[in-house]
Amino acid sequence: MNLRSDESHFTHKLLLVEPSEDTRALISGSLPPDLYQVIESRDGRSGWGHYQRHRPSAVLSALDLPGLSGLELFRRIRRQGATPFLFHTKRHDVREAVAAIRAGADDVLVLPEHLDLIRDRLEGLLGAESHSTRATDAIAGILGRSPAMRRIRERLAGAVSLRVPVLLHGPPGSGRDCIAAAMARADGSELVRIPHATSRPPERHDVGRTIYLDEIDRFPLALQARWQQQLDAIASNASGSPHRLIVSTTQELGALALQGQVDAQLAERLARFSFELPPLRRRSEDIALLSRALLERIGTRLGREGVSLSDQALALLRERAWPGNAAELEAALEQLVAFSASGRIGRRDVQELDRRDTSNVGSMRSLAKREQREELVALLESSRGNLAEVARQLGISRGAVIYRAQKYGLMAPRAKRAARAARSKAQ
């Protein structure tokens, strides 16, 4: 890949897919360097990868590409949204041009005769692309047919046009990162993810960007307060401020504030525009749609396009609990694609995956559980049974500490404790 420049002030990103280096140079040289950042690719497969990474404003591709054809690249991109797409060809192949137009391409230009028309066609297409169209496409890319996901898309459509902070609450792997990225695409801004492990105060280069604070409850309170100060600057569109602040948690924000893990003022501001992302087990009807999208992504990454799931295999996947949510589903599908020789994943393949998980990972899981239990015992002893202190040191809620203590036999469930207390009182 070649980026004509690494500057960040361009109006548009253009993905140019063309096998010939000379033709790429010819097209790039015909475009204003201050308006277009040209991302070059020599074949369809790498073009698809660059599209996923860079999300360009428009695509200009040759019809005749090695590996993944130009039409197949077009179909993949159009499944992601209405990105303006132009084809170019050096041949007067009427049949290919007609097929491209019928498929929905915006135009087919013949080179070098139509070289001067490329700029005009791009300006016409990109000038017509409104913020609302971009936002609609980005939100539509959040997959899921379940009522919960439909509701999330509806609420996001209303919030994305507002300059307000957004809270994403959901278990690990439930899609918080995907929704944060979709919101940034809808805004037309760059997403800057700041995990708790590399937390830092606001910086000058955050201007105009969408800042994503992942797991805010694990940030130091002093740093939380500094980000809280940024909210007023964002709301007033003050110079030097980020475009938007997106925050995520895996636990309920109000409880975290009461436990002192989240700045109370920050929690109050974030709670106004919050989105609860359900675990995958509560929206099993989305597994088929997610699986198809993930198989396409994984196939491209592993060089095994076209791998499909049988109905029986899909039924088994829908029956699983998926404690790791969509992230766990993706990991499972990656294994299935890697071991699929026929290109068709069947019921036996999923059953074999379950057996591999049990045999290969079982001992590791047992070790992890034993280490977790030993850590919990040590903390309970050092804190003299102070559950709030144990929760603070582990970075989880008090309820989660109780759950773990009960799971490892360190604390009886509430019903058993009540019965024991009643027996003791009777005696």
Amino acid identity of residue 390, one-letter, is: V
From 129, 160, 194, give the residue that closes a domain: 129
Residues 77 and 176 in one domain: no
Tell me the residue range of the domain where 271 lies: 134-278
Residues 141 and 262 in one domain: yes
d(CA 307, CA 328): 19
Instruction: List the pLDDT tens digit at each of the 427 positions of the chain.
Output: 454 434 444 468 899 999 999 899 889 888 877 678 899 999 999 999 999 888 898 999 999 898 899 999 999 998 887 789 999 987 666 677 778 888 888 888 888 888 878 888 888 787 644 455 666 667 767 888 888 898 898 888 877 777 788 999 998 899 999 999 988 888 777 888 887 766 666 666 677 788 899 988 888 888 888 888 888 777 776 666 777 889 999 888 888 888 888 888 888 888 888 999 999 988 989 999 999 889 988 998 888 888 999 999 999 999 888 888 999 999 999 999 998 888 899 999 999 887 765 444 444 444 455 556 767 887 887 788 888 888 877 767 787 788 778 777 777 555 444 445 545 555 5
Q: Which of 218, 394, 250 is nearest to 323 (CA)?
A: 250
pLDDT of residue 130: 47
Q: Which of 154, 212, 145 is nearest to 185 (CA)?
A: 212
d(CA 410, CA 372): 12
On whether residue 359 sits in a domain, the answer given is no
What is the model's pTM? 0.55
On whether residue 315 sits in a domain, the answer given is yes
Number of domains in the chain: 4
CATH number at residue 171: 3.40.50.300
Give the pair of three-digit tokens for residue 140: 């539509």
Residues 295 and 375 in one domain: no
CATH number at residue 337: 1.10.8.60
Pairing of strands 166-169, 244-249: parallel
pLDDT tens per residue across span 171-182: 889 999 999 998
Residues 57 and 97 in one domain: yes
3-state DSSP assignment of residue 39: strand
d(CA 159, CA 152): 10
Residues 193 and 309 in one domain: no
Residues 111 and 210 in one domain: no
On whether residue 420 sits in a domain, the answer given is yes
